[in-house]
Copies of this chain bind each other. A is one copy, B any other.
Amino acid sequence: MNRYPHSTRLLVAIDCIIFGFGGEEIKLLVIKRNFEPERGKWSLMGGFVNEEEDLEVGAERILFELTGLNNIYVEQLQTFGKVNRDPVERTISVVFFALINIHNHDEESVRVHNAAWISLKNRPALIFDHEKMVEIALERLRYKAALHPIGFELLPEKFTIPQLQKLYEAIYDMKLDRRNFSRKILSTGLLVDTGEKNENSATKKATLYRLDKERYESKFHAFWYFMPDL
């Protein structure tokens, strides 16, 4: 059904940048290619767009395939289209980035796909232009997390303020003042005290909070400063 007769058709791929938080540092879920080209190298999870599939649906399909998760935070990042970015054949890649709770993914899927969580900060080289994609994704994550309450997507349902602070420190690779951070976060009114305490701690047990979903939805698009000078 080529109804715009004189135009060239191109391969369109989707690549997914999957961020997780390990408690100390930001992690990236990547696959080790067991096919050519670049067999044995690390790569983002991706796939081609199906003929009868919206881009977002494709991204969700690919994310589900690797993680077994649905209903996760996904955002379109950017489209990469340099003529020679894929040495096999010209391919346009629409890149998405996802934030998931690292403990929720399906371990079996990850094993089957030969995937692994790697450190974002000390990551190995990635194939093609995936390196650039990750750089831009990190920039976007920093941008977004400073202005919107996005970080919660990386944490479990119930979390403590010190955990949240560690997360922000990992995202921006900087230390924050405990007292000021706590006050700023609580002042948003997004956190609800569950009454429970974090039993894992060896010292004083920290309060477990959960997100106030309604407030979260309604305030998500507001412009805030979660971070001091960036």
Contact = CB atoms under 8 A, between A and B. Distances in A.
Mostly helix, strand, loop or mixed at chain A's interface? loop
B51 A8 contact: yes
Interface stretch (A61-69, A73-81, A98-106): A73-81
B54 A82 contact: yes
Interface in A1-26: 1-4, 7-12
A53 interface: yes
Contacts of A182: none
Please state the number of chain copies in the assembly: 2
Contacts of A11: 4, 7, 9-10
Interface stretch (A83-91, A155-163, A187-195, A211-219): A83-91
A1 B12 CA distance: 15
A117 interface: no
Most B-side CB within 10 Å, residue of A7, A82, A90: A7
Given A8-B49, A12-B12, A146-B223, A54 B81 contact: yes
16 contacts: A2-B89, A4-B11, A4-B89, A8-B51, A9-B12, A10-B10, A10-B11, A10-B51, A12-B12, A52-B83, A54-B82, A55-B81, A55-B82, A76-B79, A223-B229, A223-B230
